[in-house]
Structures are given as structure tokens and as C-alpha cells.
Structure 1
């Protein structure tokens, strides 16, 4: 097989894995499930449509959760339009798309935009799911198109500021079965 074909297949496999790692639809405004917010402090500016929560802030909608030190909710006449969260780090969790495991994402800043159908993780951004990892300075996830883009950051001497992906083998079970049948298992 040509080296170009192998590189293409490797790139395709990596991109498919990124799609599996990425969160699904984030908060669902069409859902009948309300978004519940708890915090140490709250300030509501009804005229501007801005609610600011500080302290230990927790947002929940069904199994989707966001925790942060500070969360700002923006409302328009159409409803909730934007969520901005910051923390050390802020953390976003929801069940994985395939129903197995959980997507666990964290960053110093997390923004969800309903109008752009986008989740953005900024500064020290990490998304993990079932042992797979995606890390970058900024990670954008288009929830409608299910497209992930990432940007590296400045080279701080600790990792070179590049985007990093760790992709687990397809099936740990197949690997275990193969070890037991070929005699290379530790139990023998």
C-alpha cells in the first residue's frame, strides 16, 4: 500500500475518533427538561437579560452538567442564548453519544452559544471520553455540524503549545482475547 494511502487512512481514523470524543448537543433548549442552577451567589439583571452566578456554580439539564467558579447566562426574548463559564478549571460533563461512558471536558473558560450551535473550550482545554483524549489551547465544537477544530497555544516549554490527541485501540477485549490465545498472557 502506498504511504499516501496509509497517511490518509490514519488521518481519517483520527478525525472519526475526534467526532466520537466530542460532546453531543450540549444544553438542549428544545427539551422539556429545565436547566437547574445552584450557586453560592446570584445576581439577576432582568432588564439586560443577564444572570451572574458565583461561588461553587452547578448547572444541570438531565445528565448534562457544568460546574465552574463563575457562570453568566444571557437571555433574549427567544430564551437562553449563551452560557459563559470560568473556573480552575470549569468542567462540562455529559453521557457519550453511544451511551457508553461519559464525555468529560474541562478548560479555564467554557462558552456555549445557542445561536452559533457551538461549544468553545479555551485555555488548558481537555476533552476525554473512554480513554481517548483531545487537548489544545482552544477547542471549538460545532454541535449542529458535529465538527471539532482545535488550536495550539504559545510554546511555554511544556508541550510546545501543540494540539494533542490520544486514541485508544478499537477494542481492549479483542486485545485481551488475542493475548490469551497466543500464549503471551501474564497468567501463564
Structure 2
């Protein structure tokens, strides 16, 4: 059996290597010198299967960016990061404002990231807020390469209200109101 400190060090190193170079700007800042840190109540690394599983009060953090969940599975293949699956009641994601975009706060029972598809998927009771804009639905997809948000009212299993709600705020108050 390996010492706990050695296992913890390997898990942190694997997380940094797996998560660091492949997540999109929405999820983590790839150009940042800050490491990505994963903390949890327990962790399991399976080098043969290319998976790290974190359970209990999981936090994935890089600077002000934070993903929280009850469980996070990080999958890798020969090319590096393949996907991340987060589950929670709800799982949450937050990113502070950037120079070009407002802050992002999101929650869903399931949050998936697919590196090959450049896709963040918020599933089941999904809510994504950016600035004053809000997207709600059973499924909300964010294509990180094309910066396109789509919503679905039902999951593939038929869960959800069948409706999607998007609230888009006006760009400014310069519509002739000069009091």
C-alpha cells in the first residue's frame, strides 16, 4: 500500500496534468500560471483505466474559478483529457468576470465536459447565469469553440418540463432615456 501523502501527491499531479492543458476558457484559464487544485473527502486513481474519481465535498479550483460537486470523475486517454463528469445536489460552476464577459454561475445535477467535442453540458435542473442573462432547461450545452449556447426542455430520458427559458438583458440603457 502506498503512503497517503504519495497518493495524494500523485492525484494532485494527475489532476493538474489532466485538467490543466485542455479545458476551455469558460471552464478554466489555460494561460494562467495558477495550478488547478482538486480537494475531496476521498480520491481513487486508476492509471490503467485513465480515471481519477473524487468523492465528497469535491472542489476543483483555479484562482477564482470553482467547480463543486459530490463526485467528479476525470477521464483521460492517450491524447490527454477526454472528459470530466461532475455530479451533485447540485454541482456548481462559477467563474469571475473577464475583460470581455460577465461572471458565470451555473448549477445542474450533472455537469459534463467533453474535450474532443469542445462541449460543456449542464444536465437536469440546469441554470446558467452570465451577467444578467439566464438560461434554464433540462439540458444546456455550451460549445466552447464556437461560443454557442443551446438548451433543451427535456433530457434524453424525458425528464424536464419540455420548455427552455432564456432571459437576455438589453445591451445598455442608451435608448433615448436622458433624464
State the TM bucket, normalised to the shorter chain. Answer: 0.7 to 0.9
Q: 1:30 and 1:168, CA in 2 relative to 1: closer, same or farther beyond 3 A?
A: closer
How far apart are residue 63 of structure 1 and its match? 2.9
Name the structure 2 match of 1:63.
Answer: 64
* Normalised TM-score (structure 2): 0.74
- Any idea what SS the aligned residue of 1:162 has? coil
Map of 1:1-188 to 2, 5 A cutoff?
24-27=25-28, 32-99=33-100, 101-153=102-154, 160-171=161-172, 174=174, 178=177, 181=179
Kindly report the root-mean-square deviation, in angstroms, between the aligned alpha carbons of the 2 structures: 2.5
- Any idea what SS the aligned residue of 2:137 has? strand
More helix, by proportion: 1
Q: Which structure exhibits the higher relative contact order, with contacts defined as CA atoms closer than 8 Å and separated by 6 or more residues?
A: 1
Q: Which has the larger radius of gyration?
A: 1
How far apart are residue 65 of structure 1 and its match? 1.5
Q: 2:50 and 2:153 mapped to 1: Cα distance?
A: 34
Unaligned runs of 5+ in 1: 1-22, 182-188
Q: 2:85 and 2:159 mapped to 1: Cα distance?
A: 26
Unaligned runs of 5+ in 2: 1-23
Post-superposition CA distance 1:114-157 (Å, at most 9, x none): 1111100000011112221111111111101111111102586x
Post-superposition CA distance 1:4-27 (Å, at most 9, x none): xxxxxxxxxxxxxxxxxxx95423
| Aligned residue pairs, count | 153
How far apart are residue 101 of structure 1 and its match? 3.9
**Does structure 1 conserve the Cα–Cα contact (< 8 Å) formed by 2:124 and 2:159?**
no
